[in-house]
Amino acid sequence: MIIDVIILAAGKGTRMVSDLPKPLHPLLGKPLIHYVAAAAAPLTEKPPVVVLGHGSEQIRDSLGEGLRYVIQSDLLGTGHAVQQAEASLKGTSDLILIIYGDMPLVRTQTLEKLVEAQKAHSGPLTILTLMEENPRGFGRIYRDANGAIQAIVEESDATEEQLDIKELNAGMYCVESDWLWDSLAKIPVSSKGEYYLTDLVAIAAEEGASIASVTVADSRELLGINNRAHLAEAGQILRDRINQQWMLSGVSIVDPWTTYIDPDVTIGQDSVILPGTFLQGNTIIGRECLIGPGTRIFNSQVGDQCEIEYSVVEESRLEDGVDVGPFSHLRKGAHLAAGVHMGNFGEIKDSYLGEGSKMGHFSYLGNARVGKDVNIGAGTVTCNYDGQEKHPTTIKDGVFIGSDSLLIAPLEIGENATTGAGSVVTKDVPPDTVVVGVPARKIRRKDQK
């Protein structure tokens, strides 16, 4: 059976009160619409069709080329939105799965159940419902005395009695294709001047067709995002889900309520995540690490047995056994080899520190390549920027940089050399040489004590 998927995301998202289109509002770092597209993709062999209107260019750029797009120029309601896909899909599939782009927590397995139910059903459509005390503006499922579904009544059109109905419309439907295209044309215009997709249900009921339903067990999965309060609520539910999953996979999360792990992060077994920690983007954390408290790591790779405390790590790479912090900042392109120790108040950008090197106290390295077993004394600064350009600094293996050294780039400091405390190094230093002063000059070779 051939299945097509339509994702509706043309709406203005007025209730978000935002210049950013609703589908692009981030949930744990990723735009809402990406979650929906990812949940739906496994249900079809074909690229899902996304209906776009408001902010279509931006949304398309964000979702990329793996999907098909159609434009709804006038936003005349959810039924009208589906109609925009008719030209591209008519006659090409047996079933159509329609989902709303503002339901980011829906699981693939739930959509599978919906499709399976429709495959087993003789009528033209199956709808997804949830039981909830708090209706949050969702349409109500109206059933007759025998329990047969008769209509979906939108909140604004519901009678007092209908408002009390606890069974709600999730906004996901699996429909026989031919029936869908025929019936869309029969949707009447609503009191708000829109064509509601939900009216398909009444149309089917009037034809005497039976309408099947699947009710989700966990209604938190069907939280629709209409405003920013809903967004925060969804964020919390998703966060719980992700934290649970990591805890069950052998990661200790001391305080899940203050731990924010983005959906694409991975964490190795026996790592411990301390409170107030944010693991973001495509971050990978190895095994037996101790991360936090108060740490943010974005798009970075952290090896095994690393410790990072009260620090910010962005687009960086830490090999095994590195320790950082408290209060350090690794910026884009920082690469710390195995066993590097970076203590407090350090900043590293676009630099490599070789195995076993140490930078224990308030220092800055930019555009530097540092060898093995180097000691960077307190207060060291690579002066890498002359106001116009960035220049490189190379520090070879075994160098000892004295406290408060200023290294004026471009500069190379040879193997096993030493700079004295407070020196301002303006010229390359040969290997095994001690330089001191301002500007630094050679006082001796290390082998001539």
Is residue 21 at the binding interface for ligand UD1, with CB under 6 A as the rule?
no
Token pair belonging to 338: 């195995």
Instruction: Tell me the closest approach of the beta carbon of residue 9 to ligand UD1, in angstroms.
Output: 5
Per-position DSSP letters for 271-333, written without gaps between them: -EE-SSEEEETT-EE-TT-EE-SS-EEES-EE-TT-EE-S-EEES-EE-TT-EE-SS-EE-TT
Instruction: Tell me the closest approach of the beta carbon of residue 173 to ligand UD1, in angstroms.
Output: 10
Helix (H/G/I), strand (E/B), else coil: 392: coil
Q: What is the dihedral of CA 103, 109, 110, 111, to 10 degrees?
A: 70
Residue from 4, 154, 167, 350 binding ligand UD1 (CB under 6 A): 154
Residue from 142, 196, 246, 352 binding ligand UD1 (CB under 6 A): 196
Is residue 31 at the binding interface for ligand UD1, with CB under 6 A as the rule?
no
Residue from 29, 31, 171, 292 binding ligand UD1 (CB under 6 A): 171
Q: How many CB atoms lie within 10 A of CB 19?
A: 6
Q: Is the peptide bond before 188 cis (omega within 30 degrees of 0)?
A: no
Q: How many CB atoms lie within 10 A of CB 65?
A: 8
Residue from 16, 28, 81, 368 binding ligand UD1 (CB under 6 A): 81
Q: Which stretch binds ligand UD1 (CB under 6 A): 195-203, 317-325, 338-346, 393-401?
A: 195-203
Which residues ranging from 248 to 307 are in contact with ligand UD1 (CB under 6 A)?
Answer: none
Instruction: Tell me the closest approach of the beta carbon of residue 102 to Ca ion, in angstroms.
Output: 5
Is residue 152 at the binding interface for ligand UD1, with CB under 6 A as the rule?
yes
CB contact set of 181 (below 8 Å; sequence gap of 6+): 86, 90
CB contact set of 71 (below 8 Å; sequence gap of 6+): 10, 51, 52, 53, 56, 84
In the complex with Ca ion, which residue's Cβ is closer, 169 or 271? 169
Tokens 């540092």: give the residue: 370
Residue 315 and residue 402: Cα distance in Å, rounded? Answer: 29
Is residue 10 at the binding interface for ligand UD1, with CB under 6 A as the rule?
yes
Residue 95: closest CA among 111, 75, 78, 71: 111
Is residue 110 at the binding interface for ligand UD1, with CB under 6 A as the rule?
no
In the complex with Ca ion, which residue's Cβ is closer, 138 or 310? 138
CA distances (Å), origin 308, targets 247, 340, 434: 19, 12, 34
Instruction: Tell me the closest approach of the beta carbon of residue 230 to Ca ion, in angstroms.
Output: 9
361 is catalytic: yes
Instruction: Tell me the closest approach of the beta carbon of residue 149 to ligand UD1, in angstroms.
Output: 13
Instruction: Tell me the closest approach of the beta carbon of residue 19 to ligand UD1, in angstroms.
Output: 16
Please give the size of the binding site for ligand UD1, defined by CB under 6 A: 29
Rounded to a whole number, what is the distance in angstroms from the first to the last CA of the chain?
Answer: 85
Which residues ranging from 209 to 248 are in contact with ligand UD1 (CB under 6 A)?
Answer: 224, 226
- Chain mean position to CA 368: 31
**Contact residues for Ca ion (CB under 5 A)?**
102, 224, 226
Residue from 114, 197, 407, 408 binding ligand UD1 (CB under 6 A): 197
Residue 187 and residue 263: Cα distance in Å, rounded? Answer: 39
Q: Which stretch binds ligand UD1 (CB under 6 A): 85-93, 193-201, 271-279, 427-435?
A: 193-201
Is residue 311 at the binding interface for ligand UD1, with CB under 6 A as the rule?
no
Instruction: Tell me the closest approach of the beta carbon of residue 116 to ligand UD1, in angstroms.
Output: 21
Helix (H/G/I), strand (E/B), else coil: 191: coil
Residue 190 and residue 193: Cα distance in Å, rounded? Answer: 5
Q: Which does 196 bind (CB under 5 to 8 A by kind): Ca ion, ligand UD1, none?
A: ligand UD1
Catalytic-role residue among 54, 121, 230, 361: 361
CA distances (Å), origin 344, targets 77, 125, 272, 379: 56, 62, 21, 11
Is residue 125 at the binding interface for ligand UD1, with CB under 6 A as the rule?
no
In the complex with ligand UD1, which residue's Cβ is closer, 137 or 392? 137
Residue 198 and residue 58: Cα distance in Å, rounded? Answer: 28
Residue from 4, 5, 6, 11 binding ligand UD1 (CB under 6 A): 11
Residue from 48, 77, 343, 371 binding ligand UD1 (CB under 6 A): 77
The answer to whether 78 and 224 have CB atoms below 8 angstroms apart is no
Residue from 138, 181, 278, 364 binding ligand UD1 (CB under 6 A): 138
Please list the active-site residues.
361
Residues that bind ligand UD1 (CB under 6 A): 8-11, 51, 53, 72, 75-78, 80-81, 100-102, 138-139, 152, 154, 168-171, 196-198, 224, 226
